Chain A
């Protein structure tokens, strides 16, 4: 499993592209919001966590379709399916998801504080948003893996993956933003939505790879 993670991180780092595109898209979304909303600093600070979450969500959907497609095109996927005996496909998918999150999700979490400044957010709100993104973006990857696996055989399935995955990531978005608000607005709780967010991530960390593994196996027919 470690060898798959290391390989995919190496590919992600060397091929460039993927990692930066996500960050640039995230930056673009956040940078245009103040122009659209206007120079109302209080309003920006209030909608900040939600906008950061939406930006991160869309940016993580961006690279999902390539998760298995590159492996399918060069024949690697066939061999991974054949190695099912030594390395269950679900674990292989899990490893690929971890590597994918480390190369595309984690950079988004890391740049989110800087983008929070663009939204005039308070330090506490920035910290809370980054923590919820850290806990929530893995869930997006795990859910997305199922969508990517289902669409792996389709050429240009990118938009389809996003459309399939979006309904399932909405709970992640709701609890992520709820927890981020809970940290700064007094009566709202932080802990409960945050724990639910963590639970979602753990739940999909199991279900996503299992479903994606089954879908990949069926796709080789």
Chain B
């Protein structure tokens, strides 16, 4: 399977944010989008996910021919094939960690990769299982949001500043998680201004902020 982005452009009323972004990622390939604040990295991720209507161009998933577990041949849109890890964690402060994760796992549907407990073990936060989400520290919250990625099989990961708030050790763990996902035949698009130490990822550099 492939993620094909052709001539993508986004416009937020005050002029174009980026134009003519084209790339193709096959299974096992990742793309690191870097650039200063305000360069349009998040906007690119949102446009690929389908959360923002691009002013030109398109992003599509070409299905078929993949070893990735639970992948279907035909996706109507990128959002259906992708996990989107945005700047917010999308967890409810009053619910427990397990309740939050169970809800998203159920909503995402498809093939379950890991159970909640296995997912928590993955990010090393098993002891927080029954704590309300609001009790967690910033880094722990981020790790719980990352745990969601491994609960359901989705071939494409769209990551927007995935490592914000993480300490150095967790950052390395996250990098190895991304590596593992790529090895399975997944696709990763990550927007970040922090270096993400994953080898073999392509790079897309956004120049200075659009003024």
Q: A79 contacts which of B50, B52, B95, B104 (Cβ < 8 Å)?
A: B104
Q: B84 contacts which of A4, A11, A15, A82 (Cβ < 8 Å)?
A: A82
B86 CB, min distance to chain A CBs, angstroms: 5
Question: Is the Cβ of A85 less than 8 Å from the Cβ of B79?
Answer: yes
Question: Is the Cβ of B86 less than 8 Å from the Cβ of A221?
Answer: no
User: Which one of A70-78, A125-133, A137-145, A157-165 is at the interface?
Assistant: A70-78
The complex places the Cα of A120 from the Cα of B107 at a distance, in Å, of 48
Question: Is A80 close to B, CB under 8 A?
Answer: yes
The complex places the Cα of A87 from the Cα of B102 at a distance, in Å, of 16
B127 CB, min distance to chain A CBs, angstroms: 21
The residue among B46, B79, B89, B92 with the most chain A CB atoms within 10 A of its own CB is B92
Q: Which residue of B lies closest to A80 (CB)?
A: B107
Question: Is the Cβ of B108 less than 8 Å from the Cβ of A83?
Answer: yes
Question: Is the Cβ of B107 less than 8 Å from the Cβ of A4?
Answer: yes
B46 CB contacts on chain A under 8 angstroms: 220
Question: Is A7 close to B, CB under 8 A?
Answer: yes
A220 CB contacts on chain B under 8 angstroms: 46, 51-52
Q: Which residue of B lies closest to A220 (CB)?
A: B51
A66 CB, min distance to chain B CBs, angstroms: 13
Question: Is the Cβ of A75 less than 8 Å from the Cβ of B107?
Answer: no
Question: Is the Cβ of B107 less than 8 Å from the Cβ of A10?
Answer: no
B52 CB contacts on chain A under 8 angstroms: 220-221
* Chain A positions 8 through 48: 1 when the CB is less than 8 Å from some CB of chain B, otherwise 0: 00110011000000000000000000000000000000000
Interface residues on B, range: 20 to 34
A212 CB, min distance to chain B CBs, angstroms: 17
Question: Is B109 close to A, CB under 8 A?
Answer: yes
The residue among A4, A79, A85 with the most chain B CB atoms within 10 A of its own CB is A79
Q: Report the interface size for chain A: residues with CB under 8 A from the other chain.
A: 23
Question: Is A84 close to B, CB under 8 A?
Answer: yes
B92 CB contacts on chain A under 8 angstroms: 7, 11, 74, 76
A186 CB contacts on chain B under 8 angstroms: none
Residues of A187-221 whose CB lies within 8 A of B: 220-221
Question: Is the Cβ of A81 less than 8 Å from the Cβ of B90?
Answer: no
Q: Which residue of A lies closest to B50 (CB)?
A: A82
Question: Is B62 close to A, CB under 8 A?
Answer: no
Q: A75 contacts which of B49, B80, B88, B95 (Cβ < 8 Å)?
A: B88
Question: Is the Cβ of B79 less than 8 Å from the Cβ of A82?
Answer: yes
B79 CB contacts on chain A under 8 angstroms: 81-85
Question: Is the Cβ of B91 less than 8 Å from the Cβ of A74?
Answer: yes
Question: Is B99 close to A, CB under 8 A?
Answer: yes
Question: Is the Cβ of A85 less than 8 Å from the Cβ of B107?
Answer: no
Q: A3 contacts which of B51, B88, B94, B103 (Cβ < 8 Å)?
A: B103
B86 CB contacts on chain A under 8 angstroms: 75, 78-79
Question: Is the Cβ of B95 less than 8 Å from the Cβ of A11?
Answer: yes
B108 CB contacts on chain A under 8 angstroms: 83, 86
Q: Which residue of B lies closest to A76 (CB)?
A: B90
The complex places the Cα of A86 from the Cα of B76 at a distance, in Å, of 11
A3 CB, min distance to chain B CBs, angstroms: 5
- Contacts A85-B76, A86-B80, A220-B52 known; 14 new A-B pairs at CB < 8 A: A4-B107, A11-B95, A74-B90, A74-B91, A75-B88, A75-B90, A78-B84, A78-B88, A78-B90, A82-B50, A82-B79, A83-B107, A85-B77, A221-B53
Q: Which 7 A-B pairs have the closest CB atoms?
A: A75-B88, A85-B80, A75-B90, A82-B79, A14-B94, A76-B90, A3-B106
Q: Interface residues, chain B, CB within 8 Å of chain A?
A: 46, 49-53, 76-77, 79-80, 82, 84, 86-92, 94-95, 99, 102-104, 106-110
Q: Interface residues, chain A, CB within 8 Å of chain B?
A: 3-4, 7, 10-11, 14-15, 73-76, 78-87, 220-221
A-B contact pairs, 12 of them (CB 8 A): A3-B103, A10-B99, A74-B88, A78-B84, A78-B90, A79-B84, A79-B107, A82-B50, A83-B107, A85-B76, A220-B51, A221-B53
